[in-house]
Amino acid sequence: MPFNIRRAKSSDLSDILSLFEQSVRLTCSREYSQKQIEAWVGSRNNPERWLNKIKNDYFILAFQDEILAGFASLSGSDYVDLIYVNPVFQGQGVARRLLEVIELKGTWMCADRFYSDVSDTARGFFLKQGYSILHKNIIYVDGVEISNSRMEKCVK
């Protein structure tokens, strides 16, 4: 399914935050507890953080018609910071397309590898895209322990 990709703008913030919350709440409940999900989605209450990402990262949006299907961001030339997909579009190639565009941008910026701190929910997707697990992480968000994995993909 074709998706239109464009750079995010600050005026997209409300839609980005809404998709972020829906994605975490509806797709991560098998791997994370309700307490962990609440701590995770709490970051939507820090709009300055998100606006800084839109301004400073390569932050892209995927649309199907006029509906926001997903978003992703690249920090620097090699850190895949965010990939979230609207639950309605899960399994339709949105994340794969967003990652392709992010990696292409990084390659243009001379990245020889990509890395990311990947949720337990997204780990299988990243493995299928050629990433390998370097190690598990434990982070604390508002005092709540959340696990993820540092993953890497070498491209040269």
Whether residue 127 lies inside any domain: the answer is no
pLDDT-derived band of residue 103, with 50, 70 and 90 as boundaries?
Answer: very high
Tell me what pLDDT residue 2 has.
80
Q: Which domain holds residue 75?
A: 4-111
Kindly state whether residue 107 falls inside one of the protein's structural domains: yes
Domain total of the chain: 1
* pLDDT of the residue at 69: 97
Residue 138 lies in a domain: no
Residue 131: inside a domain, yes or no? no
| Structural domain includes residue 106 | yes
Query: pLDDT tens digits for 106-151?
Result: 999 999 999 999 999 999 999 999 999 999 999 999 899 999 999 9
pLDDT in tens, 77-96: 999 999 999 999 999 999 99
Q: Is residue 136 part of a domain?
A: no
Give the pLDDT band (50/70/90) at residue 28: very high
| 129 within some domain | no
Domain with residue 66: its CATH number is 3.40.630.30
For the chain, give the mean pLDDT: 95
* Spatial separation of the C-alpha atoms in residues 64 and 117, rounded to whole Å: 27
Q: Parallel, antiparallel, or unpaired: how do β-strands 113-119 and 144-154 relate?
A: antiparallel
The predicted pLDDT at position 156 comes to 72
Is the pLDDT reported for residue 1 higher than 80?
Answer: no
What is the SS3 string spanning the chain? CCCEEEECCHHHHHHHHHHHHHHHHHHCCCCCCHHHHHHHHHHHHCHHHHHHHHHHCEEEEEEECCEEEEEEEEECCCEEEEEEECHHHCCCCHHHHHHHHHHHHHHHCCCCEEEEEEECCCHHHHHHCCCEEEEEEEEEECCEEEEEEEEEEECC
- Model pLDDT, residue 15: 97
Residue 15 domain flag: yes
pTM above 0.85, yes or no: yes
**Statement: residue 14 has pLDDT above 70:** yes
